[in-house]
Amino acid sequence: MAETCRQFLKDCGVDPERMSLEWASAAEAPRFVELITGYVSKIKDKGPLGEAEGEEEREKLIRHLKAGVKAAQARKPRTALGTLSKKLHKEGNFSKEAITEGVKAKILPALRSERILQEIKMLLSEGALSLDELSKEVKAEKEEVEKHLSTLSKKGTVKEETGKWSMA
């Protein structure tokens, strides 16, 4: 879960270090205090969300996240997460490498693709945009955007007119 979050946060334009996963047992109050204090100070250093990310428009970041939440709800990426967890569990392999690689290869692509799709829909419902503009706005390669656009247009959800895409 944590690794998926980290990789996907990065994809959404959020510094993954803003999320931390720490362990403190019930008996480790001093450790807890140390962790929390250190973490708050780290986030203070990074500044408000968006600042350390160098994202000039906070709105854009929030859009990535909104689409991200939808993506994390979608069945495909969730199945990918479940399947990977099941596999690692079965193999008893909880090494950092296996998790990082697994998430990178299996889960992140599914989440990313779903996020891009959601974001295209969100953007186009607000107005027509060119492929270049879309690709810049959703933080994705043109090819990735094109793939979704072609599927969506086949379904009749979107249409292209004079180089600009809009909802059909």
Partner 1 sequence: MAQENVSMKENDMAQTGFEPRILGFFCHWCCYAAADSAGVSRYQYPPNVRVVRVMCTGRIDTRFILEAFKCGADGVFTGG
Partner 2 sequence: MVEAGRSPNIEIITNARLEALEGKPGQFLAKVHQAPRFINEDLCTACGMCTMYCPRPVVDTYNERLDITRAPHIDYAQAIPSSYYIDAKACLRVNYDTCNLCAQTCTAGAIDFSQKPKKLELNVGAVVLAPGFGKVDDEVLEKFGYGKYPDVLTSFEFERLTCASGPTEGHIVRPSDNKPPKKIAFLQCIGSRDETCGNGYCSSVCCMYAIKEASVAKEHEPDLEISIFFMDVRTMGKGFDEARKRAQEKYGINVIRARVPRVDQVDGKLALTWTTPDGEHHSGIFDMVVLSVGLESPEDAEIISKVADIELNHYDFCKTSVDSPLATTRDGVLVAGAFQGPKDIPESVTQASGAAAIASELLSDARNTETITVTFPEENVELEREEPRIGVFVCHCGVNIAGVVDVKAVRDYAGTLPGVVLYEDTLYSCSQDALKSIAEKIKENRLNRVVISACSPRTHEPLFQETLRSIGLNPALVEMANIRDQCAWVHAQEPEAATEKAKDLVRMAVAKARLLEPLDQPTVDVTPSALVLGGGAAGMASALSIADQGFKVVLVEKSKELGGNLKRLTWTLDGQDARKVLKDMVKKIKAHKNIEVLTEAKLESISGYVGNFTSTISRKGKTDMVNHGVMIIATGGREYKPKGYAYGDSPRVLTQLELEEKLSKGKSFLKNARNVVMIQCVGSRGEDMSHCSRLCCTQAVKNALKLKEVKPDLNIFVFYRDMRTYGFYEDLYREARKKGIHFIRYTPEKRPEVIKQARGIKVRAFDPILGDDLEIPASLVVLSTGIAPGENEELSKVVKAPLTSDGFFLEAHAKLRPVEVAVDGVYLCGLAHGPKSLEESIAQAKAAAAKAAIPLAKGKVAVAPIVSRVNQDACIGCGICESLCPFNAIRLEKAGKRKKAQTITASCKGCGICASHCPTLAISMGGFTDEAIMAQIHAFSPEGCKEE
**Is residue 19 close enough to count as binding partner 1 by CB under 8 A?**
yes
The count of residues interacting with partner 1 (CB under 8 A) is 49
Give 1 or 19: the residue with its C-beta nearer to partner 2. Answer: 1
Give the DSSP H/E element, type plus range, for residue 164.
strand 164-167
Query: Using CB under 8 A, which of the segments 27-35, 88-96, 142-150, 155-163 binds partner 1?
Result: 27-35
Q: What angle do CA 22, 24, 28 make, to 5 degrees?
A: 150
The number of beta carbons lying within 10 Å of the beta carbon of residue 76 is: 14
96-104 long-range Cβ contacts below 8 angstroms, 24+ apart = 99/3, 100/3, 103/3, 103/4, 103/7, 104/7
**Is residue 86 close enough to count as binding partner 2 by CB under 8 A?**
yes
Q: Which of 55, 80, 81, 149 binds partner 1 (CB under 8 A)?
A: 81
β 158-161/129-130 pair status = unpaired
Give 33 or 168: the residue with its C-beta nearer to partner 2. Answer: 33
Query: Using CB under 8 A, which of the segments 37-45, 117-125, 140-148, 153-161 binds partner 1?
Result: 37-45
Residues 59-78 as x/- pattern, contact with partner 2 by CB under 8 A? -------x--xx--x-x--x
List the interface residues with partner 1, window 107-126 (CB under 8 A).
Answer: 111
**Is residue 48 close enough to count as binding partner 1 by CB under 8 A?**
yes
**E strands along 72-144, which residues?**
129-130
